[in-house]
Amino acid sequence: MPRWMTRAKAATPQDSAILAGAALAVLHGITTGDHPVLPLLRARLALRAAEQGLAIAGRPERAADLRDEVHLLRPGDQPGPAGQVFQAWLGAVRHKARGASGLSALPPALQDQTLLSPTDGTPLTQAAQVLERALPLAPRDETSALILTDTALARACGWSHPLPILSLGLRRADLRLEGDALHAACQRALVLAANDILPMHADLRRRTERLLAVAPKLRAKPAAIAVQRFLTCDALAPSLALRDIMSDRSARRLCDRLVELGALRELTGRDTFRLYGL
């Protein structure tokens, strides 16, 4: 972010609008490229959005607990309520912004495509209008309303996939606002989210390029498939996520090798039930 954006304070509504527009322009630059970091960025932001959404709902959860609840699931198992919120966000960011499949997990009242019909105004104005319409349709389900809102923002901006943005910056009290007050809250949320997203993007981009650089050194034949999975997932359990391409032992050895090469991190600090990610 330009230094003037991180230091400036919005003294007037016009200031707030300028800062929000500048933040959106910067985010547009990183979401419309073809760098391989983008799927991973969306997955990592889905985790952040789940944390924020659960806090808004009065059920705070740590990122580590959310990862365990979703990434250690065995086939046929179902996560608890917090894990379901994380899964909802993961599903949202993996689907095209303009498709209907990304909305299929939302409550029926929010699956109506007319809610996302283009309206007049900037992308942020359109997203704020969607949020105001969605909240009464899904009482006590702020996550679904926020998923719809960030999908509306992605559509209005012409992005291929939703990116959790407003969901990261809005507070619980903001969701009780209406009209101009809600729009102003969305402007503030956009600037706050940009200050969080851009350093994350820079860090994940460096990590992605490191993984791609060391990938040719891997001898295991399925290693290329494993690398691609790490580039699209926030975290993976080797024995579960790679079981279709290699044995448990081979999967663990591959992950340990990538840790040695500085391309992966072990995220839990545990001796068992480990999770790996960039």
pLDDT of residue 58: 86
pLDDT of residue 1: 66
- Residue the block writes with tokens 């209008």: 129
pLDDT of residue 17: 86
pLDDT of residue 101: 72
Short-list 255, 212, 215, CA closest to 236: 255
Would you put residue 273 in left (φ > 0), alpha (ψ -120 to 50) or beta?
A: left
Any idea where the domains of the chain sit in the sequence?
8-200, 218-277
In order of 104, 108, 145, the CA distances from 153 in angstroms are 18, 20, 12
Residue by residue, pLDDT tens for the chain (278 residues) are 676 766 666 667 788 888 889 899 999 999 887 889 999 999 999 999 999 999 988 888 999 999 999 999 988 889 999 999 999 999 999 988 887 777 777 888 888 777 777 677 899 999 999 999 999 988 888 999 999 999 999 999 999 999 999 999 999 999 999 999 999 999 999 999 999 999 999 999 999 999 999 999 888 788 999 999 999 999 999 989 999 999 999 999 999 999 999 999 999 998 889 999 99
pLDDT of residue 7: 64
pLDDT of residue 219: 81
Tokens of 74: 């065995």
pTM (predicted TM-score): 0.91
